[in-house]
Amino acid sequence: MDRTGRYHLGMPVPKGSTIDPERTRAAILKAATPVLYERGLDGIGVAELCALIGVSKETLYRHFGTKDGLVEAMLQARSERVSRWLAEAVAAAGDDPRDQLAAVFDTLGEWYEDPVFRGCAMVNAAAQHHIEAVRAVTARHLGRYLDLLTGVAERAGAADPPLLARQLLMLVEGATVVAAHHGAAGTGEQARQAALALLSAAAGSGGGRGGGG
């Protein structure tokens, strides 16, 4: 032991407060998220993960209890983060629901082009684990997307907003799968065109434009 000391995730500890109870947890989550996303939940062991993110196993286990606990917390945080990210893109797109929908797929399209893109982390996780909590996080995640898309569908005056929203959700998740496993080039734009076509069809043949509100 000639080099102990200097701990806490390599981050300088702010002089105030009690070494931060929640901060360590948040820092672990932030550092572990991209590693677990790239390597896969079962593609890396706790020991290697800890070494990569610079935290001891004891600290990780005290904050998350088990590896599954870490995974669940990570997925939950990631779901909330990307949902908020997409919602902000919609909010920034103005009042026209067509622009809002286009913003969704433009945002996704940028993500697809990212070299680290490996598909939806929540869907990937649910696809490989039977853990009920993981599946629940994924279902909730899709629910968030559905809510966002339902709002767009309603504002667009779709005849059946829940139906259109679910169809758009399929397009979102399908574009993500196709981009991950069959090439990302152009996928965002192709999906955007399809989404706008669906919206036009739903608004045109159904309830027309300018839904009450």
Partner DNA sequence: CCGAGATCGTACCGATCGGTTCGATCTTTT
Partner DNA sequence: AAAAGATCGAACCGATCGGTACGATCTCGG
Residue 9's binding partner among its own copies, DNA, none (Cβ under 5 to 8 angstroms by kind) is DNA
- Cα 172 to chain center, whole Å? 12
6, two tokens: 């200097």
Site string for DNA, 19-38 (x = CB under 7 A): xxx--x--------------
* Cα gap 79→138, rounded to integer Å: 8
Q: Does 174 bind its own copies (CB under 8 A)?
A: yes
CB of residue 197 vs its own copies: minimum separation in angstroms? 4
| Residue 6 site contact among DNA, its own copies, none (CB < 5 to 8 Å, cut-off depends on kind) | DNA
125 DSSP 8-state letter = H
Please, which residue, 55 or 171, has the CB nearer to DNA?
Answer: 55
Binding residues with DNA: total (CB under 7 A): 35
Instruction: Tell which one of 146, 151, 154, 159 touches its own copies (CB under 8 A).
Output: 146
Q: Does 35 bind its own copies (CB under 8 A)?
A: no
| Residue in 79, 107, 150, 167 binding its own copies, rule: CB under 8 A | 167
- Which residue's entry shows tokens 């169809």? 167
The verdict on 33 binding its own copies (CB under 8 A) reads: no
- 109 Cβ partners below 8 Å, 6+ apart? 187, 188, 189, 191, 192
Query: The tokens 């009450």 sit on which residue?
Result: 212
Query: How far is 153 from 138, CA to CA, in rounded Å?
Result: 22
Is 146:166 a contact under the CB 8 Å cutoff? yes
What is the Cα–Cα distance from 36 to 108, expressed in whole angstroms? 21
Helices (H), 54-131: 57-64, 67-91, 97-113, 121-128
| Binding test (CB under 7 A) with DNA, winner from 30, 38, 40, 48 | 48
- Interface residue list for DNA (CB under 7 A): 1, 3-9, 13, 15-21, 24, 42, 44-48, 54-59, 61-63, 66-68
- Interface residue list for its own copies (CB under 8 A): 39-43, 118-119, 123-124, 126-130, 135, 138-139, 142-143, 146, 163, 166-167, 169-175, 177-178, 180-182, 187, 190-191, 193-194, 197-198, 200-202
